[in-house]
Amino acid sequence: RSAPAVVTVTGAAGSIGYASVFRIAAGAMLGHDQPIALRLLELPQSVPAAVGTAMELDDGAFGLLKSVDVFDDPRKAFDGASFALLVGARPRSKGMERADLLAANSDIFALQGAVINEVAADDVRVIVVGNPANTNAAVAAAHAPEVPPQRFTALTRLDHNRAIAQLSHRAGVEVGEISRVTIWGNHSATQYPDIFHARVGGRSGADLAADREWLVDDFIPTVARRGTAIIEARGSSSAASAANATIDHVRDWVLGTPADDWTSTALPSPGVYGVPEGIVCSFPVRSVDGQWEIVEGLEINGFSRARIDASVAELEAERVAALTS
Ligand code: NAX
């Protein structure tokens, strides 16, 4: 039995935090033989709610859960952390401009990046869920010069899983028979779910994509706007599915992606696929020996190129706005 892995979850009293921590404690993220030390970081006003969550975690009597601590001080919460799940973020309030939202989050993620740089474990892996997730990850990475940039990632796995589910319905194929789907770009309405390289049961994704009307008017917007559809249906935003995707992301990062498949993760571009260096962009990735490797050499057709470029342009504008705010 190894020493407990220190897992810090920010925004732990929020919806996604609440939906994540019980499954993490049950071993769904790091495996059923890895003990866990959970750290819950919240804003001071939400510390009581996080304490309530910690009490419920206690009541789960999880064999793998060695400790749960609640903090409102990032310095304590990230001390020695090997996994930093950055879920808490400033939501857009009424009358708030997009620039204000970017600025407010830039402050939060600059501070958290700097603290992680200083006090987290040497092997720290960061996943940003809080929106605007890609840009928040870019800001945090920019403030953590001693952490390799590729350890700062943002969640696009929920979009990836949504794309697989939609393909499964369309083709009448089990989700387990679908592979090599890619989300490119930003976790926003400009994201591009690419099925040209996918395998869908016995068919190729390119074959399905030949129905351009379905691709353009149905599949792509359904995936990209799924978050809004969930809000309309449930009256609040995706929580359990986002928690599930976060757990999938970290599990694959640590334990590896299946041979013959890949997944989608946003990480700082090393300058591939025409994405400028440092832009936190979603790519097709494999996890090898605990590190993300971008799947290179995929042929990008004109249809895909235009959509990737549009999302990357949005990311560049966001980054400029966040870093100069
Ligand atoms: P909630 O509002 O339920 O919870 C957020 C929690 O974060 C609150 O309890 C708040 O007190 C806390 N918080 C805010 N700032 C903090 C800080 N500086 N330090 C510590 N805690 C802080 O939101 P929830 O539904 O859980 O969503 C969390 C974030 O995920 C949002 O930014 C949301 O937009 C984003 N999402 C990202 C997704 C993705 O795929 N990347 C999908 C789902 C979700 O929309």
Known binding residue 31? Answer is: no
Each residue's pLDDT expressed in tens, for the chain with a length of 325 residues:
589 999 999 999 999 999 999 999 999 999 999 999 999 999 999 999 999 999 999 999 999 999 999 999 999 999 999 999 999 999 888 888 878 889 999 999 999 999 999 999 999 999 999 999 999 999 999 999 999 999 999 999 999 999 999 999 999 999 999 999 999 999 999 999 999 999 999 999 999 999 999 999 999 999 999 999 999 999 999 999 999 999 999 999 999 999 899 999 999 999 999 999 999 999 999 999 999 999 999 999 999 999 999 999 999 999 888 877 6
Asked if 160 and 132 touch (Cβ cutoff 8 Å), the reply is no
Q: What are the residue numbers of the active site? A: 187
Residue count (the chain): 325
Find out whether 98 is annotated in a ligand binding site. yes
Answer yes or no: is the C-beta of 87 below 6 A from any ligand 1 atom. Answer: yes
| CATH 3.90.110.10 intervals, the chain | 157-323
pLDDT value, residue 1: 58
| Ligand 1 centroid from CA 206, angstroms | 36
- CATH 3.40.50.720 intervals, the chain: 5-154
> Residue 123, Cβ neighbours under 10 Å: how many?
12
Strand order in the sheet with 125-128: 65-71, 36-41, 5-10, 83-86, 125-128, 152-154, 263-268, 280-288, 291-294
What is the position in ligand 1's atom list of the atom closest to the CA of 112? 18
Q: For ligand 1, is residue 230 a contact (CB within 6 Å)?
A: no
Read off φ and ψ for residue 209, nearest 5 degrees.
-70, -15
11 in a labelled binding site: yes
Could you tell me the two tokens for 131? 């929106």
pTM of the model: 0.97
Q: Which atom of ligand 1 is nearest to the CA of 239?
A: 25
Q: Which conformational region is residue 131 in: left (phi greater than 0), alpha (psi within -120 to 50 degrees), or beta?
A: beta
For ligand 1, the distance from its centroid to the CA atom of residue 200, given in whole angstroms, is 33
In the beta sheet, which residues pair with residue 71?
Answer: 41
User: ipTM more than 0.95?
Assistant: yes
> Which one, of 101, 149, 146, 143, lies nearest residue 126 by Cα?
149
CA of 184 to the centre of ligand 1 (A): 22
Atom of ligand 1 nearest to the CA of 13: 9
Nearest residue (by CA) to ligand 1, atom 31, is 130
Rounded distance between C-alpha atoms, residue 278 and residue 291, angstroms: 17
CATH fold label, 5-154? Rossmann fold (3.40.50)
Nearest to 87 by CA among 239, 287, 233, 280: 239
Given the candidates 3.75.10.10, 3.90.110.10, 1.10.510.10, 3.40.80.10, the CATH classification of the domain at 157-323 is 3.90.110.10
Alpha-carbon distance of 252 to 291, in angstroms, equals 10
